[in-house]
């Protein structure tokens, strides 16, 4: 292998490693988000239909609790 | 002069790596835990402890990879040259001069190392939920654990639930906490005229008090409603002594509430409904016939794991990594050591093997990193295969008239 092709391979190797590092940091950051509202939740709140579903589910849970004394956390099909 | 150089040395080599570690360690919602408002002595002390640990970890690594560049000996001799009594003799100046460049390089590497170590440690603790399980590793922002619902997984809360008989089995409960999509808050706020106002909405964000991070400063609500008592002697479902409780939507995107005046906060965790297994519309559902490229990649990963497990026991000339050749040289004739390494390797590999339930979800997500790592580990024999077999074949084929 000539010196030139070795140099090119070295540069490619460094670029590859740097790219890999950036990708690793991005992946780790994405998987360790600390927001308190999930992406799915935020998207659902922007949709008026889903928002209505959420409000209904919360009201239903509260009403059921007042009626039966058993708390079932609201679950929404989003 | 001795004191000032000594302090500078302590600051540069131990305190600053400690500071960098702390700055990177407390990320996202926990970043307020790192503050520059602490008393200087407290900051230095808390910087020294991680700084010492960083050096204890880094020096052996540095010595291993650069045995002729920086060693503990050269590090100590640099310190000795700096702090020894007596004037600046030519010999002492030359000693300082010779060890200066390795020392600065080591210092620079120690800064990067402390950042990487902090980044990896904090993210690992957070991702694996060790902070939830063990109080000692918990970040100080307890409001995050409350608003995210993670406090439901605290051992103390679990034991209370078990005691009350409300906890479901562990596997189900874990799924439930991870299924929380947001938290709905009902908040009673006392106004300046001592009247109680009642608000409810989805908690979008919050702010901690800058002086005392255990206190809430602001709560950001979205889809906010306000409840107020209205004099309306009509028949209503919420009738309280001739007054009706009226629920009004507050127009706007975000409602900022001064949490300092909050009297009570009632939280309701809204969860995503679990779809029945095998439902066709599930986003996470994996096709029964996995795509051919995933099968190929899994096969490649399997081959790599198997190939390298054999390479730990027997010498493979194809593998040309320096670490591997050193390992083979060092363990030549020591088959017991090789077997121990082989078993350790399988323990590490086992960490990445998910159970069958989780695998179904993650099957689609063979990440780019694993693909790159697999290709890198197989680079030598792929290179040989291409240059020794495929390339000559192509040349022969192309040279034919």
Tell me the DSSP string of B255-298: EEEEGGGEEEEEEEEEEEPPPPTT-TT-SS---SS--HHHHHHH
Local confidence band at B174 (pLDDT 50, 70, 90 cut-offs): very low
State whether B147 and A58 contact (CB < 8 Å).
no
Higher pLDDT, B294 or B175: B294
- Looking at the predicted structure, is the pLDDT value of residue B51 above 50? yes
State whether B270 and A73 contact (CB < 8 Å).
yes
Tell me the DSSP string of B45-72: HHHHHHHHHHHHHHHHHHHHH-TTT--H
Unique residue bearing structure tokens 């600390």 = A34
Local confidence band at B325 (pLDDT 50, 70, 90 cut-offs): confident
The residue-averaged pLDDT of B147-167 equals: 79
Which pLDDT score is estimated for B255? 92
Which pLDDT score is estimated for B379? 66
Higher pLDDT, B88 or B145: B145
Residue A77 contacts B, CB cutoff 8 Å: yes
Which pLDDT score is estimated for B143? 92
B243-249/B239-240 β-pairing: antiparallel
Local confidence band at B1 (pLDDT 50, 70, 90 cut-offs): very low
State whether B126 and A34 contact (CB < 8 Å).
yes
Closest chain B residue by Cα to residue A22: B369
Q: Considering CB atoms only, which of B148, B270, B369 is closest to A23? A: B369
The winner for highest mean pLDDT among B89-103, B114-128, B224-238 is: B114-128
pLDDT in tens, B141-156: 899 999 998 888 888 8
As a whole number of angstroms, the distance between CA B224 and CA B186 comes to: 10
Residue A6 contacts B, CB cutoff 8 Å: no
Residue B375 contacts A, CB cutoff 8 Å: no
The closest of B211, B209, B233 to B219, measured between CA atoms, is B209
CB-facing half-sphere around the CA of B154: CA atoms within 13 A: 17
State whether A75 and B205 contact (CB < 8 Å).
no
Higher pLDDT, B116 or B67: B116
| % chain B with pLDDT above 70 | 66
Tell me the DSSP string of B92-114: HHHHHHHHHHHHHHHHHHHHHHH
Ordered per-residue pLDDT tens for chain A, 78 residues: 566 766 676 677 677 777 778 888 888 888 888 888 888 888 888 888 888 888 888 888 888 888 888 888 888 887
Residue B203 contacts A, CB cutoff 8 Å: yes
> Among B11-20, B38-47, B106-115, B188-197, which is the least confidently predicted range?
B38-47
The closest of B265, B272, B271, B260 to B185, measured between CA atoms, is B265
- Residues in A closer than 8 angstroms to B204, CB to CB, are 36-37
Residue of A10, A36, A49 to mutate when probing chain B, most B C-beta within 10 A: A36
Start-to-end CA distance of chain B, whole Å, equals 83
DSSP secondary structure code for residue B15 in this structure: I
- Looking at the predicted structure, is the pLDDT value of residue B231 above 90? no
Q: Considering CB atoms only, which of B127, B272, B275 is closest to A40? A: B272
Q: Considering CB atoms only, which of B119, B127, B268 is closest to A31? A: B127
Chain centroid to CA B96: how far? 40
Higher pLDDT, B360 or A46: A46
Unique residue bearing structure tokens 């290709």 = B375
Q: Considering CB atoms only, which of B123, B176, B181 is closest to A78? A: B181
State whether B270 and A74 contact (CB < 8 Å).
yes
ipTM confidence: 0.82
As a whole number of angstroms, the distance between CA B285 and CA B328 comes to: 45
User: In 3-state terms, chain A is what percent helix, strand and coil (to 5)?
Assistant: 75, 5, 25
- Distance of CA B395 to CAs B253, B305, B380, B398, Å? 67, 33, 21, 5
């Amino acid at each position: 292998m000539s010196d030139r092709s070795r140099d090119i391979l070295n540069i490619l190797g460094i670029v590859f490693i740097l790219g890999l590092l950036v990708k690793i940091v991005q992946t780790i950051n994405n998987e360790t988000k600390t927001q308190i509202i999930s992406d799915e939740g935020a998207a659902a709140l922007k949709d008026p239909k889903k928002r209505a579903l959420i409000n209904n589910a919360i009201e239903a849970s509260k009403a059921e609790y007042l009626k039966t004394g058993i708390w079932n956390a609201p679950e929404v099909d989003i | 002069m001795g004191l000032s150089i000594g302090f500078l040395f302590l600051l540069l080599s131990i305190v600053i790596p400690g500071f960098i570690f702390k700055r990177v360690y407390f990320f996202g919602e926990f970043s307020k835990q790192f503050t520059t408002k602490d008393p200087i002595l407290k900051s230095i002390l808390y910087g020294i402890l991680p700084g010492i640990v960083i050096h204890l970890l880094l020096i052996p690594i540095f010595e291993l990879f650069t045995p002729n560049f920086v060693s503990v000996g050269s590090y100590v001799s640099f310190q000795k040259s700096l702090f020894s009594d007596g004037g600046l003799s030519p010999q002492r100046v030359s000693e300082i001069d010779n060890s200066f460049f390795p020392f600065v390089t080591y210092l620079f590497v120690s800064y990067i190392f402390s950042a990487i170590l902090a980044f990896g440690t904090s993210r690992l603790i957070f991702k694996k939920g060790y902070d939830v399980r063990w109080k000692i590793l918990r970040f100080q922002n307890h409001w995050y654990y409350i608003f995210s619902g993670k406090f439901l997984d605290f051992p103390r809360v679990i034991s209370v639930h078990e005691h009350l008989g409300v906890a479901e089995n562990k596997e189900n409960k874990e799924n439930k906490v991870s299924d929380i999509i947001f938290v709905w808050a009902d908040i009673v706020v006392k106004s300046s005229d001592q009247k109680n106002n009642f608000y409810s909405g989805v908690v979008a964000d919050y702010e901690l008090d800058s002086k005392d991070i255990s206190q809430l400063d602001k709560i950001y609500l979205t889809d906010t409603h306000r409840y107020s008592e209205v004099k309306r002697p009509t028949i209503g479902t919420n009738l309280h002594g001739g007054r009706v409780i009226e629920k009004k939507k507050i127009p706007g995107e975000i409602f900022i509430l001064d949490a300092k005046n909050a009297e009570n906060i009632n939280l309701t965790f809204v969860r995503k409904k679990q779809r029945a297994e095998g439902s066709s519309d599930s986003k996470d559902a994996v096709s029964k016939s996995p795509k051919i490229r995933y099968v190929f990649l899994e096969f490649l990963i399997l081959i790599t794991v198997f190939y390298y497990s054999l390479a730990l026991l027997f010498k493979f000339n194809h593998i040309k990594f320096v670490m591997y050749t050193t390992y083979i040289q060092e363990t030549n004739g020591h088959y017991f050591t090789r077997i121990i390494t082989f078993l350790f390797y399988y323990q590490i590999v086992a960490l990445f093997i998910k159970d069958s339930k989780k695998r179904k979800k993650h099957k689609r997500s063979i990440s780019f990193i694993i693909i790159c790592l697999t290709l890198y580990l197989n680079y030598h024999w792929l290179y040989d295969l291409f240059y020794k077999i495929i390339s000559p074949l192509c040349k022969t084929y192309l040279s034919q008239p």
